[in-house]
């Protein structure tokens, strides 16, 4: 339904921030966009929403072409909603009123019901009557998401949606929000640094490096067969090592300590990770990281099994 065809964009003439981007997403599909800081994630979201005049290519949602500010008095597409990193809420009115502003005044009962439903999705029912100026950054971020959903967009664009929200809330909020979007068949594009947004909730994942798309595929495919250290490192610590003359990429969980092996390593450090320890070891003059259930003393000799 969304067709991004050969688009290029630069804020200045001689520096492209999006270099020939090409991809589609279907109705109701969730796409995550990942890549290092400054690679162009926010710029891509802005281009799709119609906030930028792209230099080359076209963007279509169904049969509607997305056009930039040059063609619109008020930039932005009606059937899209965009939640930017600097969500602009109305500070002097309450959380409910901020949401209701985007609902019809002619159907007060329905509008109230929908506001309650959205307050539940963002877990802010208790703050319904609190003025937005008195909320924390993470709470404001949640209200901005609810407001974007008020009119049920066909495509929701979220820029770092949980960036200011603590881990405790983040996980339940993520589950609620993405389940809600699926239930309503709302497509969504999320720009994120967080692998949890991508691995558990995205149908497809698009990775940008140096302003180009390097891979676009299902999260499981990308995670299991990372094309480069850059891609793997978006998900986890990753070891890029030479084993028997071969260059390999291994996640820490792919290296195990076993009783018998010719692959010997010496422990350098152990970092507590909660349910396991991350062990740093010297293996044939290369530093490797592996997961282990117990603490291991520095200088202990260990034998490794490397799965690749
Ligand atoms: N309004 C602007 N004018 C000029 N250059 C800009 C503007 N906005 C962004 N840029 C530049 O474009 C590049 C891409 O920025 P963008 O915000 O899209 O990156 P990002 O991948 O979203 O980064 P982050 O993960 O840090 O949010 C950066 O080099 C940035 O400095």
Domain extents in the chain: 2-228, 236-306
Q: Quick one: three-class SS letters along the chain?
A: CEEEEEEEECCECCECCEEEEEEEECCCCEEEEECCCCCCHHHHHHHHHCCCCCCEEEEEECCEECCCCCCCCCCCCCCEEEECCCCCCCCCCEHHHHHHCCCCCCCHHHHHHHHHHHHHHCCCHHHCCCEHHHCCHHHHHHHHHHHHHCCCCCEEEEECCCCCCCHHHHHHHHHHHHHHHHHCCCEEEEECCCHHHHHHHCCEEEEEECCEEEEEECHHHHHHCCCCHHHHCCCCCCEEEEECCEEEEECHHHEEECCCCCCEEEEEEEEECCCCEEEEEEECCEEEEEEECCCCCCCCEEEEEECC
Residue 189 near residue 49, CB atoms below 8 Å: no
CA of 38 to the centre of ligand 1 (A): 5
Cα–Cα distance measured from residue 171 to residue 165, given in angstroms and rounded to the nearest whole number = 10
Q: Counting atoms of ligand 1 from 1, which one is nearest the CA of 35?
A: 21
- 76 Ramachandran zone, left/alpha/beta (phi>0; psi -120 to 50): left
Does the beta carbon of 17 sit less than 6 angstroms from any atom of ligand 1? yes
CA of 4 to the centre of ligand 1 (A): 19
Atom 25 of ligand 1 has which residue's CA nearest to it?
37
Does the beta carbon of 40 sit less than 6 angstroms from any atom of ligand 1? yes
Does the beta carbon of 37 sit less than 6 angstroms from any atom of ligand 1? yes
Does the beta carbon of 272 sit less than 6 angstroms from any atom of ligand 1? no
Does the beta carbon of 150 sit less than 6 angstroms from any atom of ligand 1? no
Does the beta carbon of 163 sit less than 6 angstroms from any atom of ligand 1? no
Fold of 2-228: Rossmann fold (3.40.50)
Say which residue the tokens 């018998």 belong to.
260
Angle between helices 108-121 and 167-183 (to 10 degrees): 130
**What token pair was written down for 168?**
């405790």
Of the candidates 239, 241, 244, the one whose C-alpha atom is nearest the C-alpha of residue 289 is: 239
pLDDT of residue 15: 92
**Mutational pocket test of ligand 1: of 12, 17, 158, 214, the residue with most ligand atoms within 8 Å of the beta carbon:** 17
**What token pair was written down for 149?**
């959903």
pLDDT of residue 134: 94
Q: Counting atoms of ligand 1 from 1, which one is nearest the CA of 11?
A: 4
CA of 42 to the centre of ligand 1 (A): 7
Measured from the Cβ of residue 296, the count of other Cβ atoms closer than 10 Å reads 15
Does the beta carbon of 39 sit less than 6 angstroms from any atom of ligand 1? yes
**Mutational pocket test of ligand 1: of 38, 157, 195, the residue with most ligand atoms within 8 Å of the beta carbon:** 38
In the chain, which stretches have pLDDT less than 70?
A: none
User: Per-residue pLDDT tens for 235-249?
Assistant: 999 999 998 888 999
ipTM of the complex: 0.97
User: Per-residue pLDDT tens for 161-216?
Assistant: 888 888 788 888 999 999 999 999 999 999 999 998 899 999 999 999 999 999 99
Beta bridge partners of 205: 32, 217
Output the pTM of the full model: 0.91
Of the candidates 249, 248, 204, the one whose C-alpha atom is nearest the C-alpha of residue 231 is: 249
Does the beta carbon of 108 sit less than 6 angstroms from any atom of ligand 1? no
**Mutational pocket test of ligand 1: of 41, 84, 161, the residue with most ligand atoms within 8 Å of the beta carbon:** 41
pLDDT of residue 232: 96
Measured from the Cβ of residue 33, the count of other Cβ atoms closer than 10 Å reads 28
CA of 39 to the centre of ligand 1 (A): 7
Handedness of CA 40, 46, 52, 56 (dihedral sign): positive
pLDDT of residue 245: 87
CA of 300 to the centre of ligand 1 (A): 46
CA of 204 to the centre of ligand 1 (A): 23
Class of domain 236-306: mainly beta
């Amino acid at each position: 339904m969304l067709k991004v065809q050969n688009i290029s964009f630069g804020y200045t003439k001689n520096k492209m921030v999006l270099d020939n981007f090409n991809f589609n997403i279907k109705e109701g599909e969730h796409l995550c966009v990942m890549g290092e800081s400054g690679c162009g994630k926010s710029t891509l979201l802005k281009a799709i929403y119609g906030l930028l005049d792209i230099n080359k290519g076209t963007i279509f949602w169904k049969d509607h072409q997305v056009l930039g500010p040059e063609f619109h008095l008020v930039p932005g597409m009606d059937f899209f909603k965009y939640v930017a990193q600097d969500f602009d809420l109305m500070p002097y009115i309450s959380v409910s009123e901020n949401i209701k502003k985007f609902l019809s005044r002619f159907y007060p009962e329905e509008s109230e019901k929908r506001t309650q439903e959205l307050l539940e999705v963002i877990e802010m029912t208790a703050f319904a009557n609190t003025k937005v100026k008195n909320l924390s950054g993470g709470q404001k971020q949640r209200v901005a998401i609810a407001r974007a959903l008020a009119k049920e967009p066909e495509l929701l664009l979220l820029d770092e949606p949980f960036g200011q929200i603590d881990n405790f809330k983040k996980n339940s909020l993520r589950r609620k929000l993405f389940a809600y979007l699926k239930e309503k068949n709302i497509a969504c594009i999320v720009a994120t640094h967080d692998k949890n947004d991508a691995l558990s909730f995205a149908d497809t994942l698009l990775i940008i490096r140096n302003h180009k798309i390097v891979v676009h595929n299902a999260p499981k495919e990308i995670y299991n067969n990372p094309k480069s250290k850059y891609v793997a490192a978006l998900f986890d610590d990753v070891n890029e090592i030479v084993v028997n003359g071969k260059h390999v990429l291994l996640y820490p969980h792919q290296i195990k300590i076993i009783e018998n092996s010719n692959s010997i390593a010496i422990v350098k450090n152990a970092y507590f990770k909660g349910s396991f320890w991350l062990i740093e070891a010297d293996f044939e003059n290369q530093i490797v990281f592996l997961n282990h259930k117990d603490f291991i003393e520095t200088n202990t000799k260990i034998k490794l099994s490397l799965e690749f």
